[in-house]
Structure 1
Amino acid sequence: CLTVPAMWSDKAKATMREAATMAGLIQEDDHRDRLMLISEPEAAALYCEKKCEQFNLKHNDRFMICDAGGGTVDLIVFEIDERSGRKLRECTKGHGQSCGSVFLDRRMRKLLKKKFKEYLSTIPASAFESMMDNFVELIKPQFDGVEDQFITLPASMNLASLNNPAIGLEDGMLCLTAGELKKDVFEPVIKEVINLCEEQLQKAQRLEAIFLVGGFGSSNYLFERVQEEFGSRVGLVAVPPRCELAVVRGAVYFGLNPHVVTTRIPRYWYGIDTTTTFEEGVDPPSYKIVRADGSVRCDNRFSVYIRRGQPLDIDNCVSKDFFAYYPHHTTCTLYAADTDEQPRYTTSPGVHKVANFTIPMPSLTEVMEGEKVDLTIKMYFGEVELRVEAVIRGKTYGTTCTFDSE
């Protein structure tokens, strides 16, 4: 089982599977379940679900995972379902943003350069990085917003005897006040995390718990700020044991029981290109098609398969009937849109081509060349990865997928 960021596209996940094959983790002819993919916040949710009993979470309770890592912060909300064993239902569309702990590092680097601007030309790069290491390893995880922090200047800086109270420099020590660390380093980033949590809470309407996981999730100050903002509205704000390992341990649980999650929320509208009755005054004249039978059709219409934000069972299958002329194969192009409203056309803003699926024609000895062959295309959108199959004459066949460039 491999974990992938929640913001990854279908193509990115397919590329990960291809890389795993090239690396020898799986073989091309292995069953697809030989390698399973799971999003990082979902894996973390499975880990926290194992801890739900100790946190007294029960049937119908909702909890949010705030997976705060180095680069991104991903959020997901699940509801506990105990009607047939302990299961999880995703109940809001997950969200993520680039506001992880590396952005604290960037702001800290900027603060140090501001403080030492008069001496930058004389400070060796290694000495500057030594101060950054001190921040990353000691100050960042332990900072509580109250205590001032101190950095011992490396001897190579040759500033040990310099006193400059204006920048907090005295006797070879740099004092960073709690106030300036909050204002210049922590608060701008943590406010983004809190805004993400607020958005998810509004969508979920209620939460019984918020779990902070990931490397950044272990930050004392992040916990205190989330507790401060949501403690009165959410019953529990907690950091589970070994929260930095929540994703990898959750991936193990998923491998052992991939059916714990029963419902997911699609991040996109999915559909295909089709034609519909042309509407004068609504559809562009350039999309008008007049067929031989006199009917007037509109080209490039977006025919919806899956609605963005609507709960979807993991085994949900959308079936569409097609036909091909033997022995020729047929293709199907899938489109997606990350828009609030349902797109009308496959050319509308926000719509992009996901992939072309080629359905190979099997050898059918009883069929003559040029004869029409009925087939059914089945698309599975509730799984972590998009899966497309074709049913021809009662047998199921895989499809060849070519993802569009991003």
Structure 2
Amino acid sequence: MRHHRTNHRSLVERKTLDDPKPPLDTAPPIIVIGIDFGTTYSGVAWTYGAKKEMIEVIMDWECHFSRNRECDKNCSAIHYEGVQKAITWGYDVPLDEDSLRWFKLLLIDEKDLSPEVRESEKIKKARDMLKKFNKTPAGAIGDYLRKMWNFSMTEITKAMGEMEVKVSRFHVVLTLPAIWPDYASRRMREAVKSAGILKSRPLAEDTIISFMPEPEAAALSSFEDMNRKATIEKEDCFVVADCGGGTVDLISYKVTSTSPTLTFEECVRGDGAMCGACFLDDNFLGLMKDKLKGNWNKLSAREKERLRVQCWEDGIKHKFDGKDSARTWPVMLNLFDMPADTSRCFKNHTVKLTNDEVASIFNPILCRVQDLIESQVRGVIAQTGKKPKYLILVGGFGRCSYLYEYLKSNLNYDVEILQPVRRAWSAICRGAVLKAIPRGINSLNEVTVQSHILRKSYGAYCRMSFVKGEHDERDKHWDETEMRYYARKQVEWIGKTDDRITANEPMVIELNSSKFDDVPGEEWISIYHSDVTPAPQTTYAPGVSHLCTIRYTPVYNLEDTKIYINPVGKVFHYVKMTIEMHYNGTSSLEFSVVVGSKRQGSHNVELDWGSH
């Protein structure tokens, strides 16, 4: 395979552009910050000096309703006011405002949403609000993250002191749904950049940003909270179901070591769907519409939102466990928000929901969650020959009492269900902090994930020596430089679906040499991806899509160059090229380029996600 040169530029100097790293004993202090931006609620955790026993959770949020101040998470809501678009965010957004909510889900293209999600009233409203405020999903998320980041920095500064924060380097870990497509992760990166999280700080090194899967973060913090659970043994498997506001995301792990470090590896490829707790809200409002019949349309938008938040979100949704079949659940209507003829229809202005009616709100969603879990359990059994030891429910929705009772009664596998309650809501942002703490700093009771399972195939555009009968004649191409036939539009796969990838180690592919007869200029490599199994050989096959283009200007050592002489005696120079792809369990990928023996610095490597 050969790179494609698009233009010539002089090579300034042939030396590495990577910045030298300071010795460990002179490294500046570090503040690790974990951010869990969620569909309905978002959280931030942090620690100073990479100490896991001192992880703090931001809680004292600004809010319109004082009852919400001491919460592990803030509401994922934002409102723009006036021509200047002054921002109100989180709990400070009053119920009577046309606020933007559930906008995290709009990072996913409409065509990639399931029909029920695409047609959800809340998704339609979020899309309408974006248009009203003239915002993109990434732009709105960037605005929200900026507010959350600035507030968190204020709180951290109160705890640590202004100068300590100014000189400390930041390592920020943002969690992502593991099921997200690649482009959604890129849009989240745009939001992080626009939020100012990566802006330079005069007295500190550049901020490090990394991403990790939400269920992995939940798993790390859950086992820390459970003190590693003494019954866990090597080869045990468990399923983590991260049940959040928008997505339910599952990953299965196998224990590879229990001492001195509790170490896991991903057991089977994870799965998930958009069937989180926010879709229960649609079912609740739909039930209320049926109960009120024609009177529903007489309620103001503010009253409907009050019913959703105060009666449902803060009441029935968290208290319902389905055990008392005779119990009724009152929904209080606001007399002053209803016409007189409507208010007289309801005794004491109350609508009573039966136990079965409330269960009907949950059951369609919980049935989908059950299907996801059972599919994951079957995968574990097929891979290991035994069922998982535990099913661990985490996330905001994972705290739901009825979810626990429903799975206990309906799950078709005898798997013990764990529902950690201690600091469960902040599990993901705390797990993000744990992920960034270097191994060895806390040598006892460490919990680490050793490897991940690749969820799709990733490869580089290449050409191969043409073999008649193996390659398509349409791809046959005569190369004037080497004076031989090649097959174009081929893919050299760096990693394929279900490959096991060691954590913190890149997947590496060595490409055929880049040849040149003068000073080399900008080079490019196209990266493709595919959900098809087995992965096709050509770039135009169904299911193969362009992902990004890596553009770089080679910097190399002269001793790495070799001589190539074609059949007519023309002399060319060439140097070997290597691509490293870093996979962390999410669709947020990192690529590195090595030319000869020289790793290319970030200053002369650019990822172009929009062309090929």
Alignment root-mean-square deviation, CA: 3.0
- Bigger CA drift: 106-115 or 83-92? 83-92
CA deviation after TM superposition for structure 1 residue 283, in Å: 5.6
Indicate whether 1:20 and 2:192 are aligned.
yes
Q: How does 1:123-134 map to 2 (within 5 A)?
A: 123-133=299-309, 134=311
Q: Find the partner of 1:255 among 410, 432, 436.
A: 436
Indicate whether 1:47 and 2:221 are aligned.
yes
1:28/1:288 Cα in 2 relative to 1: closer, same or farther (>3 Å)? farther
Cross-structure match for 2:26: none
CA deviation after TM superposition for structure 1 residue 309, in Å: 1.0
Cross-structure match for 1:166: none
Q: How does 1:316-331 map to 2 (within 5 A)?
A: 316-321=506-511, 322-325=513-516, 326-331=519-524
Cross-structure match for 2:399: 218
Cα deviation code 1:18-38 (max 9, x no counterpart)? 543444433579988822211
Tell me the TM-score normalised to structure 1 length. 0.87
Once residues 102 and 25 of structure 1 are traced to their aligned partners in structure 2, the CA distance between those partners, rounded to angstroms, is 28
Cα deviation code 1:191-211 (max 9, x no counterpart)? 111111111111111211111
Cross-structure match for 1:152: 332
Cα deviation code 1:368-391 (max 9, x no counterpart)? 9x9524133231333354232233
Question: Secondary structure of the residue that 2:352 maps to in structure 1?
Answer: strand
Question: Secondary structure of the residue that 1:117 maps to in structure 2?
Answer: helix
Once residues 84 and 324 of structure 1 are traced to their aligned partners in structure 2, the CA distance between those partners, rounded to angstroms, is 50
* Structure 1 contact 273–301 (Cα < 8 Å) conserved: yes
1:391/1:284 Cα in 2 relative to 1: closer, same or farther (>3 Å)? closer
Cross-structure match for 1:241: 422
Indicate whether 1:382 and 2:557 are aligned.
no
* Structure 2 contact 239–251 (Cα < 8 Å) conserved: yes
* Structure 1 contact 278–288 (Cα < 8 Å) conserved: no
Cross-structure match for 2:161: none
Cross-structure match for 1:89: 265
CA deviation after TM superposition for structure 1 residue 231, in Å: 7.9
Amino acid at match of 2:402: Y
Once residues 27 and 365 of structure 1 are traced to their aligned partners in structure 2, the CA distance between those partners, rounded to angstroms, is 36
Q: Find the partner of 2:350 among 158, 169, 173.
A: 173
Size of the aligned set, in residue pairs, is 396
- Bigger CA drift: 293-302 or 198-207? 293-302
Indicate whether 1:161 and 2:344 are aligned.
yes
CA deviation after TM superposition for structure 1 residue 66, in Å: 0.8
1:31/1:60 Cα in 2 relative to 1: closer, same or farther (>3 Å)? farther
Amino acid at match of 2:174: L
Cross-structure match for 2:534: 341
Cα deviation code 1:270-313 (max 9, x no counterpart)? 11223344554x76543344667996654323322201112111
* Structure 1 contact 209–238 (Cα < 8 Å) conserved: no
Indicate whether 1:59 and 2:250 are aligned.
no
Cα deviation code 1:169-191 (max 9, x no counterpart)? x43221111212223x1111111
Cross-structure match for 2:372: 196
Segments of 4+ moved more than 4 angstroms: 27-33, 282-285, 290-297, 363-368
Q: Find the partner of 1:72 among 226, 230, 247.
A: 247
Once residues 107 and 252 of structure 1 are traced to their aligned partners in structure 2, the CA distance between those partners, rounded to angstroms, is 35
**Structure 1: any 5+ residue segments left out of the alignment?**
164-169
Cross-structure match for 2:76: none
* Structure 1 contact 264–311 (Cα < 8 Å) conserved: yes
Amino acid at match of 1:389: S
Cross-structure match for 1:299: 488
* Structure 2 contact 557–598 (Cα < 8 Å) conserved: no
Cross-structure match for 1:2: 174
Cross-structure match for 1:110: 286
Question: Secondary structure of the residue that 1:96 maps to in structure 2?
Answer: strand
* Structure 2 contact 404–417 (Cα < 8 Å) conserved: no
* Structure 1 contact 62–80 (Cα < 8 Å) conserved: yes
* Structure 2 contact 579–592 (Cα < 8 Å) conserved: yes
Amino acid at match of 1:62: C
CA deviation after TM superposition for structure 1 residue 5, in Å: 2.0
Once residues 330 and 305 of structure 1 are traced to their aligned partners in structure 2, the CA distance between those partners, rounded to angstroms, is 19
Once residues 279 and 73 of structure 1 are traced to their aligned partners in structure 2, the CA distance between those partners, rounded to angstroms, is 48
Once residues 294 and 328 of structure 1 are traced to their aligned partners in structure 2, the CA distance between those partners, rounded to angstroms, is 23
CA deviation after TM superposition for structure 1 residue 8, in Å: 3.0
1:160/1:60 Cα in 2 relative to 1: closer, same or farther (>3 Å)? same
Cross-structure match for 1:394: 597
Question: Secondary structure of the residue that 1:76 maps to in structure 2?
Answer: strand
1:62/1:357 Cα in 2 relative to 1: closer, same or farther (>3 Å)? same
CA deviation after TM superposition for structure 1 residue 70, in Å: 1.0
Once residues 200 and 31 of structure 1 are traced to their aligned partners in structure 2, the CA distance between those partners, rounded to angstroms, is 42
* Structure 2 contact 454–500 (Cα < 8 Å) conserved: yes
1:218/1:363 Cα in 2 relative to 1: closer, same or farther (>3 Å)? closer
Amino acid at match of 2:328: D
1:26/1:129 Cα in 2 relative to 1: closer, same or farther (>3 Å)? closer
1:102/1:246 Cα in 2 relative to 1: closer, same or farther (>3 Å)? same
Tell me the TM-score normalised to structure 2 length. 0.59
CA deviation after TM superposition for structure 1 residue 45, in Å: 1.1
* Structure 1 contact 270–336 (Cα < 8 Å) conserved: yes
Cα deviation code 1:201-235 (max 9, x no counterpart)? 11111211111111111111111112223385213
Indicate whether 1:403 and 2:587 are aligned.
no
1:58/1:404 Cα in 2 relative to 1: closer, same or farther (>3 Å)? farther
- Bigger CA drift: 77-86 or 190-199? 77-86
Indicate whether 1:272 and 2:465 are aligned.
no
CA deviation after TM superposition for structure 1 residue 94, in Å: 1.4
Using the aligned pairs only, state the percent identity: 25
CA deviation after TM superposition for structure 1 residue 244, in Å: 1.5
1:390/1:274 Cα in 2 relative to 1: closer, same or farther (>3 Å)? closer
Once residues 390 and 543 of structure 2 are traced to their aligned partners in structure 1, the CA distance between those partners, rounded to angstroms, is 34
Once residues 205 and 599 of structure 2 are traced to their aligned partners in structure 1, the CA distance between those partners, rounded to angstroms, is 14
1:346/1:392 Cα in 2 relative to 1: closer, same or farther (>3 Å)? closer
Cα deviation code 1:38-82 (max 9, x no counterpart)? 121111111122125336323222121111111111111112222
* Structure 1 contact 263–382 (Cα < 8 Å) conserved: no
Once residues 376 and 541 of structure 2 are traced to their aligned partners in structure 1, the CA distance between those partners, rounded to angstroms, is 27
Q: Find the partner of 2:500 among 311, 332, 336.
A: 311
Once residues 406 and 534 of structure 2 are traced to their aligned partners in structure 1, the CA distance between those partners, rounded to angstroms, is 34
1:27/1:122 Cα in 2 relative to 1: closer, same or farther (>3 Å)? closer
Amino acid at match of 1:261: V
